[in-house]
Structure 1
Amino acid sequence: MSTPNPRRQLRPTDVKRLNRTWRRTTEARLALILESVTGPFNIGSIFRTAAAFGVDTVWLAGNATPPTNPKAQKTALGTDRLVTWHEAVPAPEAVKAAKADGYRVIAVELTGDATPLHETPLTGDICLVVGSEDHGCSPALLESCDAVAYIPQVGRVGSFNVSIAAAIAIAESRRQEWTR
């Protein structure tokens, strides 16, 4: 009698079953604030990652591109309908809205007081903040956040693409919850 190959790709039903198992172990709410992220492909990618990791809410801030942009849709593949999102407002207003909704707001940025992402407590209801592709988070936004974390890098490049930084931060937040 032969045993099934454990390395075969899962069938769609198996994937749904696996994802359901992870959903049952996920209790914390996760949200995002995207400040002046204008690249439509970045927006689409962030929304796709947000939907995959169960992000509840996305606040757009500054001049962020909405996920309804046709170019953003090419990357998002319709996942923007799976995540509640709000039209762009000034960044401090988005932070205020997130805090009023019970989130602890943590910017992902390189600042003098930032802690390494993996050492930053990201459990409970967390709202992660990422800033524009060119300038990062604005000073007003950083002042209104509860904490700042950075992603350690050992290579010779000084920063990540904003959609990659958001994905790393979202994944780290879920990892911390799942390993508690």
Structure 2
Amino acid sequence: MENKIEGRNAVLEALRAGKPIDKLYVLDGCPDGPVRTIIREAKKGDTIINYVKKERLDQLSETGHHQGVIAMAASYEYATVEDILEEAKEKGEAPFIFVLDNIEDPHNLGAMIRTANLAGAHGVIIPKRRAVGLTSTVARTSAGAINYTPVAKVTNLKQTMEQLKKEGMWFVCADMDGTPYYQMDLKGPMGLVIGNEGEGVSRLIKETCDFVASIPMKGDIDSLNASVAAGVLAFEIARQRG
């Protein structure tokens, strides 16, 4: 469960206090001044605003007093990409970052944050849209790693990767048609890109990567769970970094 904030005053106060709000549900066609103020505040941040019918709000509401607005607050604060690079610098290590392309399952995201922590990655980058954020399910599944591994949320994953490439980073993504991962040199400043559970890495993101690594498999199904694939490649990168 994410942290739900219900009612006009509570939601407005949370937005003004700069609390990270992932999603805002607003009664469709509600013209009230206070609701308009809430929408205006939400638009200043990167909150996704959903206009919904009263039935949907009633369904989401736990208090029964939503007054036409319910906000979903992220359970944890987000870091910035700079924070992640700083983390690497402080440890005197080449940056090692997970880049997650539209992961939708909170259990997968939590498992990957946990893997990132255990493999020695300095942080995780996720996109703002069409992906799960730091909910309490993610926090639980990360087994506490969320408290130690910074997670940054960016508007444009491709642009962020291109910026990091200018700063000397290389990116490897997991995909069926790549080179077997154990034949690759994955040392140095490295971003590990893992794609969406169903569709894999999106075309634009794949084109931005420098390397495509495959995990050769035996067996009758053709793909690994995203978080398992992340684990296999992350620990190979960790082994090579030595």
Using structure 2 for the length normalisation, give the TM-score: 0.58
Whole-angstrom distance in 2 between the partners of 1:119 and 1:93: 28
Which amino acid in 1 is paired with 2:107?
A: F
Contact 1:35 1:130 in 2 (8 A): yes
Question: Which of 161, 164, 176 pairs up with 1:98?
Answer: 164
Is 1:161 equivalent to 2:228 in the alignment? no
Which residue matches 2:182?
A: 118
The structure showing larger relative contact order (alpha-carbon pairs under 8 Å, at least 6 residues apart) is 1
Question: Which of 166, 177, 199 pairs up with 1:135?
Answer: 199
Whole-angstrom distance in 2 between the partners of 1:55 and 1:146: 19
Question: Which of 101, 122, 139 pairs up with 1:56?
Answer: 122
Q: Taking structure 1 as reference, are residues 97 and 64 closer, same or farther at Cα in structure 2, changes over 3 Å only?
A: farther
Question: Which of 132, 136, 139 pairs up with 1:65?
Answer: 132
Whole-angstrom distance in 2 between the partners of 1:158 and 1:42: 18
Whole-angstrom distance in 1 between the partners of 2:167 and 2:124: 12
More strand by share: 2
1:55-114 CA-partner distances (Å, limit 9, x unpaired): 112111352212x21111111123122122211423312322432443111111123xx2
Which amino acid in 1 is paired with 2:161?
A: V
Q: Taking structure 1 as reference, are residues 152 and 143 closer, same or farther at Cα in structure 2, changes over 3 Å only?
A: same
Q: Which moved more, 1:159-168 or 1:98-107?
A: 98-107
Q: Which moved more, 1:121-130 or 1:75-84?
A: 75-84
Using structure 1 for the length normalisation, give the TM-score: 0.77
Number of aligned residue pairs: 150
Which amino acid in 2 is paired with 1:34?
A: L
Whole-angstrom distance in 1 between the partners of 2:152 and 2:160: 9
Which residue matches 1:80?
A: 146
SS of structure 1 residue aligned to 2:201: coil
Which amino acid in 1 is paired with 2:175?
A: E
Contact 2:120 2:238 in 1 (8 A): no
- Stretches of structure 1 that go unaligned for 5 or more consecutive residues are 1-25
Contact 1:64 1:88 in 2 (8 A): no
SS of structure 2 residue aligned to 1:71: helix
- Stretches of structure 2 that go unaligned for 5 or more consecutive residues are 1-91
Which amino acid in 2 is paired with 1:170?
A: A
Calculate percent identity across the aligned residue pairs: 28
Contact 1:48 1:77 in 2 (8 A): yes
Which residue matches 2:240?
A: 176
